[in-house]
């Protein structure tokens, strides 16, 4: 899927997209989200980034970042490791 649905309640991302990003079975994604084991942050671009949104999902020391436009088209995907909370980066 190369589209993210934007509703009045926010963005809707298919479980398959997150599963692929984290190497999971799609059926596990809803449970992991309900248990707050997959969490997310949404940022809205301003200035030269207006019209773009950055959706970052966190799971098991990794992050999946999707940059989308106002129509919900995925412009880029990035995956990266993140330090554990309380652990210094670098």
CA of 84: how far to CAs of 47, 66, 81, in Å? 32, 21, 9
pLDDT tens digits along 26-79? 999 999 999 999 999 999 999 999 999 999 999 999 999 999 999 999 999 999
CA–CA gap between residue 33 and residue 90 (Å, rounded)? 28
pLDDT tens digits along 62-75? 999 999 999 999 99
CATH code, domain with 11: 3.30.505
Q: pLDDT tier at 3 (50, 70, 90 boundaries)?
A: confident
Tally of domains in the chain? 1
Range of the domain at 29: 5-81
Residue 87 lies in a domain: no
């Amino acid at each position: 899927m190369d589209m993210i649905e934007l509703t009045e309640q926010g963005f809707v991302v298919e479980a398959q997209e997150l599963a692929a990003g984290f190497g999971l079975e799609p059926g596990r994604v809803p449970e992991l989200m309900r248990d707050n084991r997959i969490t997310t942050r949404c940022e809205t671009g301003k200035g030269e980034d207006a019209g773009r949104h950055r959706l970052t999902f966190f799971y098991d020391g990794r992050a999946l970042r999707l940059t989308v436009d106002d129509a919900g088209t995925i412009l880029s995907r990035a995956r990266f490791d993140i330090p554990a909370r309380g652990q210094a980066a670098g």
